[in-house]
Amino acid sequence: MYPTKQVKIDRLVYALALVPLLAVPAAAEGKKQTVKGDDMIVTATRTEERSIDVPVTTQVITRETIEMSGVADVGDLVGKYVTGHYHKYNGLLSPIGLRGFRTDAHGADLAGYVLILVDGHRIGTGNAAKINLDRIERVEVIKGPASALYGSAAMGGVVNLITKKGDGKLGGSVGGEYGSFDYYKTQVTGGGEVNEKFRFFATADIDDIGDYKDPTFGTVYNSGVEKKNIGGNFVYAFSERHELRLGGNYSDLTSESPSWAAGTYSSYVKEYDDHNDKSTGYADLEYNGDFFGGAVHWRGMAYYLWDKNHWFSGNSYGNSDPDSYQTKYIDETVGTDHQFTWKMTSWNSLLAGFTMENLEKKSYGVADSLPARPYTPGLDYDNQALFIQDSLDLLDNRVNIIAAARYDRFDVTTKRAETGSYASFNERSEDYSHVSPKVGVGVKLFDEKLRLRANAGEGFKSPTADQLSADYYHTTRDVHYRGNPDLDPETSMSYDIGFDLFFSPVTFKFSYFHTDYEDKIVSKVYSEGGQTVSTYENHGDATLTGFDIGVEWALDKTFRLPFTASLWSNMTFNTTYRDELTQSDLLYTSDYEIKTGLNIGYQGLSGQLSHALIGPQMIDNWDTYQVEEKGAFSYWDLTLRYRFDEHWEVKGSVLNLFDQEVEWVRGYLMPERNFLVGLTYNF
């Protein structure tokens, strides 16, 4: 089932490739690194800083990389470049993971363990397949807990999507793409600086793909996807010190749901036409202003998030009408976030702020074409948070220290669903609070060619409202659902040490991490007075350790090539991932992940050859209800782009170049070798 021979070849290739990579720093020219260490990042500290001045390692996926990736959504982008865990299903469902934790399986924002942000605030979903890349200028990825600044769900890390703001010359583009499986896309963009005060960026696109084929079983019937996206940013500068931005995006997203005929790995059912609507959107208003001669900066933001998950699943119940059974959840969030940065001295900055959010989940159901109870009732969250961070730059900026903490308070309520009836339903509320600390230290040596760093911090995930406060009786299931008000948040304490080498042709980054995961929330079912009761409890701890390695090598500088060429590799090796209660391996955590690429460029021509190798992992086999090992797999992608006549651009990609079996989740094989070509006119 799995290409083990190919994986062995891949390992040999990597072993040979890494020898010169590790040897090059010693032979590199002794010039001060002026690119990677000087990249400006914002996610690690909530303020714009040089990456080398921040002890927390940040992986940045640039706009150039996004354009050369050949992928259309954030999920596939993370799966291609970021080591962690990618849990991609057919259609529009792609949870993403970092360091043993991942977003919720169905994309519920506050139920996940990795946080997705857009321009610094929650985007409202953990389903990365919903997020279109056309508006994204760059992606910043923080591995390890970030709850000290961002609150619940930031246990495994944070993915922050920085959108285009219209910087640069006024212009636009019109383009189209066509590819395998009847894929097409049309897009129009426009933006730039209209005058000294006003700039904008806006984009709209439609793309559609039909049923794809996998390398083994042929056509995956009912796997088509249709997307419609529109969004943008409008920025007005009142003066050099005061600026207002209005932004937002709406995505109309529909897809189908393929099914196996008789057990996994048999054949796909053509008549099975269940489908879903996973539309999503947001709007935000951001103010940035400097006061007291620039010593104090205020960033204030208000935002509205809307996310829908609507399944039409009549076929699942043997009904010829897929609309006869439906489940729909709509999440609406209203929030505001404010932070104040005070540059107290040239070497000390203090950041303080607060966040206030309300999330309401409405639930709907249909059974036998009649209104019915959905699986999950309605939920309501009120979150108020205070955070503070002190940044010290000592010894002429050779030592950087960051200490942060955040206080979160949650008030949660389980509400009656919008449809259906219950034998009894008590809309009960509960509240709790939590404090998350973090500290990091970085030391730069040898004219910033070497950096040593260490971090310690806590992440947490809030119990969901139904886990805390549910109190209702479900007659169909004959179960009393009862929340546990004594639940503690799930927490992770992580320690991270490492070093970075910055030489002229090569950047090398190494991190060792150790995470103690505590108070895992699990379900508990028991009998009380002859009635089945379903509740939750904190039960079980885990330990995760491993290594992250990142390498970037400018081949053109080393070998004095007449064209640009660079080799990069991101690697994670998980050495321990044990459930301390059962003494078994944690599920869905690979032994290793290695993602590598070669970029080249000459005049108007550029290209990228990339490879992903995903190691074995323990998983649940839902056919046998047994835990088993899922084997390793790998794939290659190739993208070429040519820009000519100042305005035109043609691009082509071959994805899954060698037609390998790609299976991020057991039973959900991804497409066979496929192609796409695109033509864009820029004006």
- Provide the pLDDT confidence category of residue 24 given band limits of 50, 70 and 90: very low
Residue 504 lies in a domain: yes
How far from chain centre, in Å, is Cα 292?
37
- Provide the pLDDT confidence category of residue 370 given band limits of 50, 70 and 90: very high
> pLDDT tens digits for 607-632?
999 999 999 999 999 999 999 999 99
pLDDT at 125 over 90: yes
Q: Could you tell me if 416 and 469 are in contact, meaning their C-beta atoms sit under 8 angstroms apart? A: no
* Cα–Cα distance measured from residue 655 to residue 214, given in angstroms and rounded to the nearest whole number: 12
How far from chain centre, in Å, is Cα 253?
18
As for how many domains the chain has, the answer is 1
Helices (H) and strands (E) in the chain, counts: 6, 44
> pLDDT tens digits for 157-200?
999 999 999 999 999 999 999 999 999 999 999 999 999 999 99
Residue 225 lies in a domain: yes
Question: What is each CA distance from 241 to 72, 291, 346, 379, in whole angstroms?
Answer: 36, 8, 20, 41
Q: What is the percent of the chain where pLDDT is above 70?
A: 95
And the tokens for 251? Answer: 């995505």
- Provide the pLDDT confidence category of residue 12 given band limits of 50, 70 and 90: very low
Side chain identity, residue 10: D
And the tokens for 327? Answer: 């489940």
Residue 567 lies in a domain: yes
Strand partners, 176: 186, 679
Q: Could you tell me if 526 and 552 are in contact, meaning their C-beta atoms sit under 8 angstroms apart? A: no
| Whole-number pLDDT of residue 475 | 77
> pLDDT tens digits for 655-679?
999 999 999 999 999 999 999 999 9
| Whole-number pLDDT of residue 435 | 98
The CB density around residue 491, as the number of other CB atoms within 10 Å, is 21
> pLDDT tens digits for 308-332?
999 999 888 888 899 999 999 999 9
Residue 280 lies in a domain: yes
pLDDT at 86 over 50: yes
| Whole-number pLDDT of residue 28 | 35
* Cα–Cα distance measured from residue 245 to residue 250, given in angstroms and rounded to the nearest whole number: 17
State whether residue 258 is helix, strand or coil.
coil
- For residues 10-35, average pLDDT: 38
- For residues 556-581, average pLDDT: 96
Question: What is each CA distance from 363 to 108, 377, 417, 542, 544, in whole angstroms?
Answer: 13, 6, 5, 33, 36
Residue whose tokens read 């009408």 = 321
Residue 444 lies in a domain: no
| Whole-number pLDDT of residue 8 | 44
Phi and psi at 79, nearest 5°, equal: -60, -30
Phi and psi at 165, nearest 5°, equal: -115, 0
- For residues 25-48, average pLDDT: 65
And the tokens for 320? Answer: 């010829």
| Whole-number pLDDT of residue 17 | 39
List the one residue out of 105, 114, 121 whose CA is nearest residue 46. Answer: 121
- Provide the pLDDT confidence category of residue 37 given band limits of 50, 70 and 90: low
Q: Are strands 171-179 and 326-345 parallel, antiparallel or unpaired?
A: unpaired
Give the lowest-confidence range in 100-114, 220-234, 245-259, 374-388. 100-114
> pLDDT tens digits for 443-495?
999 999 999 999 999 999 999 999 999 999 987 778 999 999 999 999 999 99
Residue 428 lies in a domain: yes
Phi and psi at 636, nearest 5°, equal: -120, 145
* Cα–Cα distance measured from residue 154 to residue 148, given in angstroms and rounded to the nearest whole number: 9
3-state secondary structure 47-113: CCEEHHHCCCCEEEECHHHHHHHCCCEHHHHHHHHCCCEECCCCCCCCCEEECCEECCCCCCHHHCC
pLDDT at 528 over 50: yes
pLDDT at 122 over 90: yes
pLDDT at 279 over 80: yes
* Cα–Cα distance measured from residue 625 to residue 628, given in angstroms and rounded to the nearest whole number: 9
Q: Could you tell me if 149 and 157 are in contact, meaning their C-beta atoms sit under 8 angstroms apart? A: no
Phi and psi at 444, nearest 5°, equal: -105, 135
Question: pLDDT averaged over the chain?
Answer: 93
* Cα–Cα distance measured from residue 99 to residue 83, given in angstroms and rounded to the nearest whole number: 8
Residue 447 lies in a domain: no
Question: What is each CA distance from 448 to 58, 348, 445, 501, 551, in whole angstroms?
Answer: 17, 20, 5, 9, 17
- Provide the pLDDT confidence category of residue 20 given band limits of 50, 70 and 90: very low
User: Cα dihedral sign for 619, 621, 622, 627?
Assistant: negative
List the one residue out of 631, 607, 609 whose CA is nearest residue 618. Answer: 631
Q: Could you tell me if 623 and 652 are in contact, meaning their C-beta atoms sit under 8 angstroms apart? A: no
Question: What is each CA distance from 208 to 205, 211, 279, 665, in whole angstroms?
Answer: 10, 10, 15, 23
- For residues 379-388, average pLDDT: 97
* Cα–Cα distance measured from residue 379 to residue 468, given in angstroms and rounded to the nearest whole number: 11
- Provide the pLDDT confidence category of residue 36 given band limits of 50, 70 and 90: low
pLDDT at 680 over 60: yes
Residue 226 lies in a domain: yes
- Listed in order, strand segments (DSSP E) in 428-530 are 429-445, 450-461, 471-474, 479-482, 490-502, 506-518, 521-528
Contacts of 196 (CB under 8 A, 6+ apart): 237
Nearest-5° Cα angle at 423, 421 to 426:
90
Q: CATH no. for residue 96? A: 2.40.170.20
Q: Tell me the helix, strand and coil percentages in the chain, rounded to 5.
A: 10, 55, 35
- In terms of residue numbers, what domain contains 169? 4-439+453-682
How far from chain centre, in Å, is Cα 344?
35
pLDDT at 2 over 80: no
- For residues 507-518, average pLDDT: 97
| Whole-number pLDDT of residue 105 | 84
Q: pTM for the complete prediction?
A: 0.93
